[in-house]
Every structure is written in C-alpha cells, then in structure tokens.
Structure 1
C-alpha cells in the first residue's frame, strides 16, 4: 500500500496539471450542427487532456463568428479560454468595409495552432438539372443573371469563393445570402437555389444520403472521400478554394502557454481516432505551430482582402 501511495505522489509531482480539476473553455462562434461547432467539439475532446484538463464547448453565435471571438479576446490570456477559429472569422470578416465588428481579430487575437484544412465543394441538388460542372457553367453562360447561388452570409467564405469563381470564369450569377449554411442547403434541396460552395463538413450527411451531388472539389488536393470528383481548377484553370480550422487565443498569451497548446495540439493530431473523425467529416488533419499558423493568417488576410476589394463586397 505504501508503495502505491508513493508512486501516486511521484506521478503528481511529475505531472502537476493532472492533480488539478481544470476546465478549458473552447468557444465556438457558430451554432450547433455545423462544421465549426463539430470542430470545436473535437478540439475540446482531444486537445485539453494533453494539458491535464478537460474541455467544454460554449456556443456564442453572431457577427460571422466574432461574437465568440469577443468572448475570448476579453478573457484572461492564461490559455484557459480559446476560440475554435475558422478562416472566415480571422481573415475575411476583418477585411469587410463597413462591417460593425465587436473586436478586431487582427489586433486582439493571436493564432495558437492550426488543426485541419477544410475541403470545399461545389454542390447542387441531386434531383436538380445539373449533372456535372460543364453543365452548370454552360447554363450560367447561356443565361446571364438567371442562376443564383446560396451562401452562409455576406462576406462568408462561401460567398467569396463563388465571387472568385465568377471573376475567373466571367459569370453573372446572383448571390442569395442566408443566416448560416443550414438554411442555405434547405433551399438548394428545395430547388430555390441553384448551387453553393461550402466546406464538406456542412453537407456530408446530405451528400451521403443522396440528396446533394458534388460537382467539383474546391482545391487540387480534393478529398479521399470523393476520389473521382475533379477539382474546380479542371474547369476554371488556376482556381483554388480551401479553408482551415484552428485554435486562437486572446492577444497577450505567454510564450509558455502558446507552446503548451501547440504541443498538445500536435500530440492530439497523432491520435488515429482524432484523425479518422476529421477525415470522415471532410477535414484534413494539418498541424501548424504558433509561428507557422500566424504566418498563414497574415497571408490569407492579404489575399482575401484583394478578393473583397475586387468584388466590391461590403459588410454593411
């Protein structure tokens, strides 16, 4: 008995965090059921245990994810509250002229680690008139202004991805913004919208159920779930569309805290079950440490800013 107690005491000395009942909050800026919420729950499940803590998810929706970001930005920079940060919230929304933002993530947030790349797909209703990408492009060119596309909102990644497609392919297509991907998909299934570009995590259930058809993948890497679907660049040369889901924190986190989170994320992504769950939802595991992730954020801020200015998109 004495030997067991000594061993337990030694373990607590070696791993003091395990002796504490610590709870880390992972904030999601999006409603339950979408890809962002799923990503937050996977992060909360797999990453905090490597820091001797348990994770809980809190959904704080609004402002294209920035209501959730505000919660994190106003929290103590001790690593106990982080944001599941998608590309759109960190690099697109801050670029929108006229947008009333609760915070500026460029100055009030910092990247902690990247977790996964998000594969985009161009989807249509399976029972609709478009059987392949050439048919959709031909219809758009034959009837300028007649086709419409849905998005999760003005200035969302879904919106700007189609704006890229329109610019590169010389198309005139009407935008219909929705309050999130779910109602947009409902109207595609109902035949009220022609198509949408969105991340696979938002539409996997409908694709697997035969309700939606994938016409093209957003980037050349594609998805192992759809090996026979060609990338959109096969029809519009040079066009690439992909996103990412990472972990962000309030500005002012210590180097020690950032390193601890980065290491825990790397170790979590070595877990085969974590990787399999990401892949099953159209996400590609992609670890990037703090420095690399912040470099990606900076590059995407610049590139999406150029798209927004060229398309004349505003947030008001």
Structure 2
C-alpha cells in the first residue's frame, strides 16, 4: 500500500516462507522418483501378503513407479510395523497394516516398538474381513445355540482352538465367552492350520477361522459352519447366521490398510490416498479381494486414524480380560 513501509525483517520472513512452500511443492511434484517399498509384516503366500501384492502392483501402475513388496514377519506383524515406523517419511516406505498389528499387538506385547497413533500416517483402509465359527463334522452341534447351551451345562468343558495367544481367533473366542456368559477353554496352537486339523479330528470342539481357509474344509464336509462374526450375514455363507443374531452386540471385523511413517508430507499423502481409493473402488478389484477373504472397504486417512484408536481401546480391554499379554 502506497506510503506504508514494511519492515525488512518481515519482508525476508515472508520471502522465506514463500520459498519453503515452493520447495515443498517441487519436491511433491517430483515424487516418486524411484521405486517404493511396501513392507508386509507377514510371511509370503498368506491372504494378507497376496492382497498386499495386488494393491502394490496397482499402486505402482497408478504412480508409474515400481512398488517392491518386502516381507518382514515376526511378533504377529509387529516387526514389520517397527520398520515402517522408523523409516524416513519421504513417501518411499509404506506398510500394509492390519487390526492385529496396529490395534491388538500393543496390548499383547509389553514392548511393541511403536505407538500406533503417533508413529504412522494413515493412508487409507483397503479392506475388511470377518471370521467364521466352525465345528468338526463329527461333533453334535448343529447351531451356535446348541453349542452355547452345552457350554452353559458343562462349564469349562467346551474347547476352542486358535493360532496362538492373542490371535484374532483366540480373541474372537474370548469375546464370545464374555458376551454370552459361558466358560469355554482356549487351546492355543502354532498357527491356524494346526488348530483346524484338530477341529476336523474332533480333538477340540470349535474354532474361529478366516473364510478363505475355512471354506475348502466346509465344502469338503470336514467342518460345519455355525456362525459368522460380521455385522451382517456373509455373502460367502448366506444361510449361516451371525453370532450377533444370538449374542446381541457381538461383532468381530478385522481390517487391512496402507500406512506410512509419521510426518509424511500432506501432498504426498493425498497422492497416495487418491491412488488407494481408486484401487479399492474399482469393480475389477472385488474378485481379487474376495479371493483372499477380504471385502473391499475404503476409509480415508482421518477415518482410518479414528478406527485405529477405537480398536486400540476395544481390543486392549479384551486382551486384558483374557490375560493374553506377552512380556
């Protein structure tokens, strides 16, 4: 404005801010200039890994840059998430996170190595999954109602298998016991496959498992599906009721999401989020997701952050009640 002199210091400060903004914009416009790394905190070949590779492939096509999948298994997904949390927030390291790794493990492990709310930038949820409660074909239970009636009549006699303490199928059983008021006995195994083997053999009464691995055994007549854990009936099991139809309020729905280290630049986050949203909402993706037991379900970063926090509270309480913590 004519006649008004702006102090030199303020002029320099404004210029510096303008230059900083220009630098940030140029940096984002030049990204990605090299391949990205997508850390999958589980072994190769499992449902989460297969889905992550599909998402990584499609993300690479959208960004016109290679996305290299790096499997870092251990501690139920915690080791891989540690790598993501401690990586540089430059947009070149991403993580394929699950509810177990971000919202359950902090309650199970005393030193998980990261803070789910402070150490990550949510990019977007890609999918959801639920469990199915199965019992051996030789067992007498024809419904969840019959199973729970037997559990009430014979406390601590009904057994259920899981992939180990703190696993999703363990906590699904813990939640069932607490919300239905029955006493059932947990039998941990080293992996879901071993637990399923004993369910089929009749050595344990039931287990919760993901549909992608349970479905072949159900179709083969080796196990019987009694209930699913979602809020609504699963399209994979349309004739099978949900647990909530008998135990009001019972819902166990897991999720998978893409995350990055904390302090990722906002424009890089927006670019990644847009790409993830397109991948998840493309009709062609549905079959790929469902083949691994997932349902495409996009959530933006802010909603994803809220879900991580809510599940931390919920599953923290379930883990504490189950005494499933590991030092």
Instruction: Please report the TM-score for the alignment, with normalisation by the length of structure 2.
Output: 0.83
State the secondary structure of the residue aligned to 1:105: coil
Q: 1:121-165: per-residue Cα shift (whole Å, max 9, x none)?
A: 112233433332122212222221122112222222222221111
2:207 & 2:138 partners in 1: Cα distance?
A: 15
Q: CA deviation at 1:16?
A: 7.1
Q: 1:239-260: per-residue Cα shift (whole Å, max 9, x none)?
A: 1111111112211211122111
**2:198 corresponds to 1:187:** yes
**2:212 corresponds to 1:201:** yes
Structure-2 change in CA distance of 1:36 and 1:179 (3 Å) = farther
Structure-2 change in CA distance of 1:208 and 1:37 (3 Å) = farther
Once the two structures are overlaid, the 10-residue window that deviates more, 291-300 or 103-112, is 103-112
Aligned to 1:107: 118
**2:76 corresponds to 1:64:** yes
Structure-2 change in CA distance of 1:183 and 1:82 (3 Å) = farther
Aligned to 1:28: 40
State the secondary structure of the residue aligned to 1:137: helix
Structure-2 change in CA distance of 1:201 and 1:260 (3 Å) = farther
Once the two structures are overlaid, the 10-residue window that deviates more, 160-169 or 193-202, is 193-202
Question: Would you say the 8 A contact 1:34–1:202 is kept in 2?
Answer: no
Structure-2 change in CA distance of 1:104 and 1:154 (3 Å) = farther
Structure 2 residues without counterparts, runs of 5 or longer: 1-28
Structure-2 change in CA distance of 1:192 and 1:42 (3 Å) = farther
State the secondary structure of the residue aligned to 1:31: coil
1:179 & 1:127 partners in 2: Cα distance?
A: 24
Structure of higher CA gyration radius: 2
Aligned to 1:268: 279
Aligned to 1:92: 104
1:39 to 51, 74, 81: 51
Q: Tell me which stretches of 4 or more aligned residues in structure 1 moved more than 6 Å.
A: 15-18
Question: Would you say the 8 A contact 1:148–1:174 is kept in 2?
Answer: yes
Structure-2 change in CA distance of 1:209 and 1:273 (3 Å) = farther
1:82 & 1:108 partners in 2: Cα distance?
A: 12
1:54 & 1:295 partners in 2: Cα distance?
A: 30
Q: CA deviation at 1:172?
A: 1.2
Question: Would you say the 8 A contact 1:69–1:105 is kept in 2?
Answer: no
1:209 & 1:48 partners in 2: Cα distance?
A: 38
Q: CA deviation at 1:17?
A: 6.7
Aligned to 1:286: 297
Question: Would you say the 8 A contact 1:119–1:222 is kept in 2?
Answer: no
Once the two structures are overlaid, the 10-residue window that deviates more, 129-138 or 229-238, is 129-138
Question: Would you say the 8 A contact 2:116–2:308 is kept in 1?
Answer: no
Q: CA deviation at 1:118?
A: 0.8
1:158 to 169, 182, 199: 169
1:86 & 1:137 partners in 2: Cα distance?
A: 30
Structure 1 residues without counterparts, runs of 5 or longer: 1-14
Instruction: Please report the TM-score for the alignment, with normalisation by the length of structure 1.
Output: 0.86
State the secondary structure of the residue aligned to 1:84: strand
